[in-house]
Every structure is written in structure tokens, then in C-alpha cells.
Amino acid sequence: MADMPRNFEASAEIMLSCPQDIMQRLCAHFVEFGAVAIDGARSRIDTAFGTASMEACLGCLKVRAEGRDESSLAYVKLSIAEHLLTFASAENPSIVWQGDGAAGQPLPYFREMRVVRTENLTPHMKRLTLAGEDLGRFATGGLHVRLLLPRDGVAPAWPVTGADGRPAWPEAGQRPDVRIYTLRRVDVEKGEVDIDFVLHEGEGMPGARFGCNARAGDIVGITGPGGGSVAPADWYLLAGDETALPAIGRILEKLPEGAEAVVRIEVADDGEEQRLTSRAGLDIQWLHRNGVAPGKSTLLEDAVRNVRWPEDDRSVFAWVGCEHKSFRAIRSYLRQDRKLTRQQHLVVAYWRCGFEGDTARREDS
């Protein structure tokens, strides 16, 4: 008889002054991402990658994390730890997981990658092809990765699994910069991924600088993949600026024949347009800023407001990625005016004027 696949498991007992309260807050948060069941002092959260079972005891929250593989378990531990430490920040509790995925081991969702090719797609968009091993997990379950970018002139040092489930980073001088990018193409057999970098203006900008200066042989880390998914529908709205163009291109390539997609993409000018292919019926409009700085126009928001939605009973899904101000305006339009449910839309701030990296998304409610 073939061996049954085993679940990977870990548990932690976390000292807290109000464990029931923290458990409730964790459950309320994860309702958006999975199935949550609460029964008195016990609860269970089921997400796409695994399960967390919790029991609020006197002065302590007992948590059991389970995943179908090492990465899934690591994601459960990481997401419980991050949110618990936020919700209980006043008492800064200690979390030490026992079981699979011990502290000090490599992060199972990390890969070291090497630049093998570069290509200028347009004047402000450059494609890097990265090669690495065992990339199967990056082909499904989310479009984006975190890029771990070694600092100039510093040998790369990567994070490992921390005792609390979060990555344990190398000391400050060696710590890589982290930026989020989309995997435009994943070829598991060849062991390659493509990432398209917007070469934008700004200070510092380790992401755009790496894209601009990269040469074959350069080393970079990736963790992931992550991000919400596009639900199956008959009709899609896909909208974004150039940073979302790689994601829109990849989503379009997956849409089936018979689907329809209305696509609105804001770019600097006509020199930044790219050829997009899909089996779905496409209505594409490119929106040119023509000299207006990125993040300073309302082109995308206006175009989304002007889209004609199906008037029959076809199912719809809206996907949007753009600068923070447009993100807020478009999300509120889709929710309040179009009355889309949470299952019918995914709107994400891809960057924010004047903010670095992931700080763009910290205050995005």
C-alpha cells in the first residue's frame, strides 16, 4: 500500500493576558481568507494552505498549525505569528513553535536565483530571466514574490526560519532589501522565471535599480508565491498601471475561450504599450499619461468609471493593481457604486507615491 501523505504540524503555547480576545481577533481577521469556526474557547481557521486550531486557556493561547507540506505549514505559522504579534503588540508575547519546521532551517518558500538574461521590453520596462531550482511551487497559488535584493557590494545573506515562524534576518548591514514583484512567466521544467521591472524615477529604489543594472550571473532571492486569486467569471475587468501590466498579461494568458475581458492600462505614453494575448475576447484601452507623473493622474479611475458592465446575468470579476490613491478611489467605486461582493473583486495598491516598498500597503483600508 502506498504511504499516505503526512501532514506537517507544529504547536505553540503563547502566554497572553486576554487569550480569548486575541483568538477572536485572529478569527475575525482570517474570515476574509478562509473558513472560520468558533466554539466557545476553541476555534479553527482553514485557509488554502493549511489549518490553525486554537484553544484559549487561562493566561495562554494554545495553537496547533498544520499544512500539507513544509511550505504550507511555514505559511500558517508565519501568518498566525505576524497577526498575533500585531493584535497583542502591547504585551509583545513570546512565540516558540515546537514540531516540524524547526528554527534555523532554510525557509521552505525561499529560492536563490541567478540572472540569466535581460531584455528591454520598452523604454521603461526591462525583463529579467532568473534561473533557480525546484520552482514547482511558484507556478501556482499566487502571482507575486518578494524579491530579496542584496545590497550593493555586499555578499548575499538570506533569512532562515525563526523560532516564532517569521523569517530570522541576517544583521542589518547584510540584510537584503525586499520588494514585491510579479512572476510574469514561470517555466518549471527549464527552471526559469521572468520578472518585468518598471524603471521608474525616485530615490534609493533598490527594486528599479536592480532591474536597471542587472547582468547575467547576478544573485537575488525570492520568497513566495503570494497574493489573492482571480475567481472564475464570464466577464472580467482588468485595470492597472504599468506595475500591474505583468500581472494583467499573465492573467489574460490564463483566461479561457468564451470569457470576455475589458482591460484598461495606464502607461507613460504609446512607447510603453505591449502586445497582450488571450483566448478570451478582449476590449483593451491604453491610457497615456503623456507627461503627467505616475501616481498623479486620474486616468485609470476615470476609465474604470466609464466601463460598461454586462446587463445580463453573466458572472463578473474585477481585478485592479495601481498606485495607492487610485487604488482607494477604484476600490470604493467597485464596492459602493457597483456593489461588488468580496468574492467579485480584488483591488491592490501596488505602490504609493513617496513611500518605499511594502509601506505602500500598510495603511490601505
Ligand X SMILES: Cc1cc2nc3c(=O)[nH]c(=O)nc-3n(C[C@H](O)[C@H](O)[C@H](O)COP(=O)(O)OP(=O)(O)OC[C@H]3O[C@@H](n4cnc5c(N)ncnc54)[C@H](O)[C@@H]3O)c2cc1C
**Residue 141 in contact with residue 225, Cβ under 8 Å?**
yes
Q: What are phi and psi of 293, to 5 degrees?
A: -65, 150
- The residues binding ligand X (CB under 6 A) are 144, 179-182, 196-198, 200, 202-208, 227, 243, 246, 294, 348, 350-357
| SS3 label, residue 189 | coil
CB of 93 to ligand X, least distance (A): 29
Name the residue nearer to ligand X (CB basis): 19 or 294: 294
Nearer to ligand X, 45 or 322 (CB): 322
| CB burial readout 298-335, b (16+ within 10 A) else e | ebbbebbeeeeeeeeeeebbbbbbbbbbbbbbbbebbe
Q: 96 or 139, CB closer to ligand X? A: 139
Q: Are 96 and 161 in contact (CB under 8 A)?
A: no
Instruction: Please give the Cα distance from 228 to 88 (Å, whole number).
Output: 26
Distance from C-alpha of 99 to C-alpha of 125, rounded to nearest angstrom: 45
Q: Contact at 8 Å (CB) between 263 and 238? A: yes
Instruction: Kindly tell me which of 111 and 352 has the beta carbon lying closer to ligand X.
Output: 352
User: Whole-number minimum distance, CB 137 to ligand X, in Å?
Assistant: 17
Q: In angstroms, what is the minimal distance from the CB of 170 to ligand X?
A: 19
Supply the minimum distance, in Å, between the C-beta of residue 336 and ligand X. 23
- Check if the beta carbon of residue 43 is closer than 8 Å to that of residue 54: yes
In contact, 64 and 7? CB cutoff 8 Å = no
Expressed in angstroms, the distance from the first to the final Cα of the chain is 51
CB-nearer residue toward ligand X: 200 or 345: 200
What CA–CA distance (Å, rounded) separates 300 from 329?
Answer: 10
Question: Smallest distance from the beta carbon of 335 to ligand X, in angstroms?
Answer: 20
> Hey, what amino acid is at 42?
R
* Residue with Cβ nearer ligand X (215 or 308): 215
Contacts of residue 73, Cβ cutoff 8 Å, sequence gap at least 6 = 8, 9, 10, 50, 65, 66, 67, 100, 101
Indicate the pairing of strand 8-15 with strand 98-99: antiparallel
SS3 of residue 265 by DSSP: strand
Rounded to a whole number of angstroms, the minimum distance from the CB of residue 181 to ligand X is: 4
Task: Give the residue nearest to ligand X (CB).
Answer: 202
The strand pairing partners of 144, in sequence order, are 182, 226
- Closest distance between ligand X and the C-beta of residue 302, in Å? 19
CB of 82 to ligand X, least distance (A): 17
Query: Which grid coordinates are listed for 115?
Result: 540572472
Of the two residues 50 and 246, which places its CB atom closer to ligand X in the complex? 246
CB of 60 to ligand X, least distance (A): 36
Minimum CB distance to ligand X smaller for 37 or for 212 = 212
Nearer to ligand X among residue 296 and residue 314 (C-beta)? 296
**E-strand stretches of 6-88:** 8-15, 34-39, 42-47, 50-57, 60-67
